Amino acid sequence: MGVARLDLPNKVLMSEKTPILEMRHVSKRFDATQALDNVSLTLYPGEVHALLGENGAGKSTLIKIMTGIHPPDTGEILLDGAPIQIRNAREAQLHGIAAIYQEPMIFPDLNVAENIFISHQGRGAVVNWGKMYRDADDVLSKLGVALDLKAPARGLTLAAQQTVEIAKALSLKARVLIMDEPTASLSAHEVSQLFKLVGTLRRQGVSILFISHRMEEVFEIADRVTIFRDGKLISTNPVRVVTPESAIRDMVGRELDSFFVKDTVKRGDLLLSVRDLSKEGVFHNVSFDIHRGEVLGFAGLVGARRTDVALALFGIAPADSGDIILEGTKRVITTPHQATRLGIAYVPEDRRQQGLVMPMSITANISLPTLQKYLNRLGIIMRKGERATAEDYRKQLTIRTPSVQLEASKLSGGNQQKVVLSKWLNTQPRLLILDEPTRGIDVGAKAEVHSIVNRLAAEGLGILMISSDLPEVLAMSDRILVMREGRQMGIFSREEATQEVVMTAAMGRAGVPETVAL
């Protein structure tokens, strides 16, 4: 991007400064998932502290604890050396902790000044408009930015919206500013503008926690780098002693021994060919093949747009251009019903919101996409046949339940996932799209899902598996397609794909082959 390195004034060593905020030995568990395990983080005034880690490493959980969304199970938070509790967003705000995200949280119908001061409370029912505009102008002046204070926010560029978010934080006297993927939707020029604002904030003594999957940005702007993996603190170092290669090794340094390894299956006939599939502003020129019996893994980081490709194949959000060729015949897929009739099934990432109707029974959920075949001539559901199907899948997939009439909401996460799989396998698909198939389920259930995927591939299904769990995608895939910000970075064979190779491609680092093996 060509932005100069933003060094600390006078090169003051962090060890010589007093921390603004300290997170000490913080842990947080959600059901079977240990999201954070005894992690510590120290933020100093006037530093940019980068936090790196794969999806699921615990970064978002830490942010939510810092901003009062979740309380920690154990550990303590210190502000200026004194212990504090952050029980809600308001308390975080009062302590001077603010966050901005990839998608700015602005009110589109309010103007710039109104958005800057929207979070201020206790100032009476009557707004002093003159003072508000003067104060807004003062805040923006401190950032070295000129914006039309009376312009509606909906007309602002993303970079200008980010600026309004930063101004809002400054108006609240934020001392710690969390930036969570703030550049993901910005152009190179807009990133440069944002980094200039970061330099201004740093000179004013604000501590910035910077989270990004763009490795080049981290080395351009950060003073220190902390790396999380599997909810654990792996390392904290000055940026000068960290390299992109060492950072990637720390991020992906897990052993694969505990993961199910896919059996070798003889690759069958060509099932699906996708050529130059594109959706304006979302993904571009994606091309790949899937054969019968093959698992094609989709890897990438947050914002890679892997799910968007799956949604296009299933007709939920159709592509604008490109070809989908199913067993030699070009198809235009515009609805999920059409995709299902063509033998494509999609198991979504969010099983509770998109995969299941939670108050309905296991039986009703499994039969839902194919309900027509359980209706008699009068349109009445033939319950006996419906239950028989559910019982069959209960045995096949080892769904642990006292009855197939039990509500889906009563099942564990792993068993809910098996019900979603059953629901779509009952459509008799030839192509099965699995979006994060083991997210939020325990290790035992993961192994069972992996075994099911292995068996389905052996039976000749073509499988497209999207997973943010890198060891999983490496272990289960015959080939891996890596995406970054809507673009295809490469397709790697099982032999070529290592954790370092995939992460290097996902981060857009040099060394990725320009040609793509379909």
pLDDT per residue as tens digits for the range 130-145? 888 998 888 888 888 8
Lowest-pLDDT range of 7-11, 127-131, 148-152, 234-238:
7-11
248 and 260 in a common domain: no
Mean pLDDT of 44-48: 95
* Residue 258: band (very low, low, confident or very high) from pLDDT cuts 50, 70, 90: very low
pLDDT per residue as tens digits for the range 382-441? 888 889 999 998 998 888 888 999 999 888 778 888 999 999 999 999 999 999 888 766
The reported pLDDT for the residue numbered 296 is 96
For residue 465, what are the contacts with CB-CB under 8 A and spacing of at least 6? Answer: 295, 296, 297, 298, 434, 437, 453, 473, 476, 477
379 and 236 in a common domain: no
Tokens 């705000």 locate to 93
In a domain, 135, yes or no: no
CATH of the domain at 453: 3.40.50.300
Q: What span, in angstroms and rounded, lies between the C-alpha atoms of 266 and 292?
A: 9
Domain count, the chain: 3
* Residue 457: band (very low, low, confident or very high) from pLDDT cuts 50, 70, 90: very high
The reported pLDDT for the residue numbered 511 is 44
In a domain, 278, yes or no: yes
Last residue of a domain, one of 235, 252, 269: 252
* Range among 148-162, 280-294, 388-402 rated most confident: 280-294
The reported pLDDT for the residue numbered 366 is 92
In a domain, 139, yes or no: no
pLDDT per residue as tens digits for the range 361-387? 999 999 988 888 888 888 888 888 889
379 and 320 in a common domain: no
The reported pLDDT for the residue numbered 82 is 94
- DSSP per residue, 192-203: HHHHHHHHHHHH
The reported pLDDT for the residue numbered 512 is 45
Last residue of a domain, one of 389, 410, 428: 428
400 and 314 in a common domain: no
Mean pLDDT of 52-61: 82
In a domain, 71, yes or no: yes
194 and 47 in a common domain: yes
Between residues 83 and 12, the one the model is more confident about: 83
Between residues 10 and 183, the one the model is more confident about: 183
Which residue range(s) make up the domain with 53?
18-102+154-252
221 and 165 in a common domain: yes
The reported pLDDT for the residue numbered 440 is 67
> Cα–Cα distances in Å, from 78 out to 48, 81, 89, 90, 370?
19, 5, 17, 17, 56
* Residue 14: band (very low, low, confident or very high) from pLDDT cuts 50, 70, 90: low
276 and 228 in a common domain: no
In a domain, 7, yes or no: no
319 and 187 in a common domain: no
269 and 175 in a common domain: no
Lowest-pLDDT range of 234-248, 403-417, 483-497:
403-417
Q: What span, in angstroms and rounded, lies between the C-alpha atoms of 6 and 96?
A: 23
In a domain, 124, yes or no: no
Q: What span, in angstroms and rounded, lies between the C-alpha atoms of 242 and 503?
A: 16
Last residue of a domain, one of 373, 396, 428: 428
Lowest-pLDDT range of 203-212, 310-319, 408-417, 443-452:
443-452
Mean pLDDT of 309-326: 96
The reported pLDDT for the residue numbered 400 is 85
What radius of gyration, in Å, describes the C-alpha atoms of the chain? 25
The reported pLDDT for the residue numbered 515 is 40
User: What is the average pLDDT score of the chain?
Assistant: 85
165 and 76 in a common domain: yes
* Residue 3: band (very low, low, confident or very high) from pLDDT cuts 50, 70, 90: very low
364 and 259 in a common domain: no
In a domain, 79, yes or no: yes
247 and 158 in a common domain: yes
* Residue 482: band (very low, low, confident or very high) from pLDDT cuts 50, 70, 90: very high
Between residues 190 and 347, the one the model is more confident about: 347
Max Cα–Cα distance, the chain, nearest Å: 83
- DSSP per residue, 463-507: EEEE-S-HHHHHHH-SEEEEEETTEEEEEEETTT--HHHHHHHHT
In a domain, 313, yes or no: yes
Instruction: Tell whether the model's pLDDT for residue 259 goes beyond 70.
Output: no
